[in-house]
Amino acid sequence: MRGLLAIDPGLGSTGWAYWPRYDDKIIGPKYFGLLRNDCVGVWWTRAFHQGVSLLEEIPAKKDMEVICEMPIFFASGAVGHAAASTDSLQKLCFLVGVFGEAIRHGTLRTRFSPVYVRDWKGQLPKEIVELRIKHLLGASACVGFKLDIWDAVGIGLHAKGVII
């Protein structure tokens, strides 16, 4: 029985969602959480802190599939260019690498795979992702979801083959 951990990395906070069984199709995660990036220091030190925090938070330490959103540059629109000009995209990619390495060294029999945002949700706004997840899982299954947890759940559902 393989578990599934889905991660939505963020410079301010990182959402995660965990399913003990990878093969359960449309069911909400059993555990979920939000890692706050509130440690003091330069950005790469904060990234390493989030990697350690993730290992402390996840309920399983072996035999799981880890899917992490890999940010990409969207050439259209001012938001994509603003992110590129502030190095946010590079910092997020670094954070994904930190998570991959932390998972690889901190757990047993685990596979870490990135998924591009364009592949799991395209350019859907967060509000639409939230509405679709509520429709799929039911509002009562989504109690407690906030901020980046929504996208982590969406990434996990995508990994399970559920179209959002």
| Residue labelled with tokens 């599939």 | 65
Written as six digits, the tokens of 127 are 């509000």
The residue type found at 133 is I
The tens digit of pLDDT for each residue in 118-161 reads: 999 988 999 999 999 999 999 999 999 999 999 999 999 999 99
* Proportion of the chain above pLDDT 70, given as a percent: 90
* Proportion of the chain above pLDDT 90, given as a percent: 55
Kindly report the CATH number that applies to the domain delimited by 3-159. 3.30.420.10
pTM, to two decimals: 0.89
Please, what is the Cα angle at 161 between 14 and 93, to 5 degrees?
30
Asked whether residue 78 carries a pLDDT value surpassing 70, the answer given is no
Q: Where are the beta strands (DSSP E) in 44-150?
A: 62-70, 108-116
Check residue 81 and give its pLDDT: 44
Q: How many CA atoms lie within 13 A of 119 on its CB side?
A: 15
**DSSP structure class, residue 5:** E
The tens digit of pLDDT for each residue in 33-67 reads: 999 777 778 888 999 999 989 888 887 777 889 99
Written as six digits, the tokens of 6 are 């889905």
Domains in the chain: boundaries: 3-159
Written as six digits, the tokens of 60 are 């399983």
**Edge-to-edge, what's the strand order for the sheet holding 13-19?**
31-36, 13-19, 3-8, 62-70, 108-116
pLDDT band at residue 8 under the 50/70/90 scheme? very high
